[in-house]
Amino acid sequence: MERYFEAIALMDEATKVRTATLYLTDNATLWWRQKQFYPEDVAYLARKNIKRLKHTGLIHEYAKEFSTFMLEIPNMSEEELLFNFMDNLQSWVEQELSKHGVQDLATAMAIAESLVDYRRGDFSKPKP
């Protein structure tokens, strides 16, 4: 690319970047668009939102919101994610998950959601 810029006597760095991006394809294009339009403080804000997030309603809604924030934090460890998920749950759910000895976030979410379904008392018999 640099040789091309020399051949056409292109010296302005901003113009070089704009020109080079025209030649990006597939994943490189996606990467560039993310770098171009993804705010730098998204991960920081997502961490703050996870810290403030509390389970007050349906566990499904809490898990969905937690997952949304989690996906915006590329470098948060599984251990830290699990801690934050469990720490912000209502105490009865956290106790149930502790009894099950959950070790990962996916298991914690699955068990928590099944507890809520059970807790809601959907005991109706299946229809034949």
64 and 7: one domain?
no
pLDDT, position 107: 95
3-state secondary structure of 70: helix
Neighbours of 49 (CB within 10 A): 16
Residue 128 maps to a domain? no
Say yes or no: 114 and 54 in one domain. yes
Is residue 15 domain-shared with residue 75, that is, in the same domain? Answer: no
- Angstrom CA distances, 119 to 13, 15, 18, 123, stand at 61, 61, 56, 10
User: Of the candidates 109, 79, 80, 88, which has an alpha carbon nearest to the alpha carbon of residue 97?
Assistant: 109
Residues 49 and 6 in one domain: no
Structural domain including 92 reads 42-120
In the predicted model, residues of the chain with pLDDT beneath 50 are 122-128
- Residues 6-34 pLDDT 10s: 788 878 888 877 787 777 777 777 676 76
| Residue 15 lies inside a defined structural domain of this protein | yes
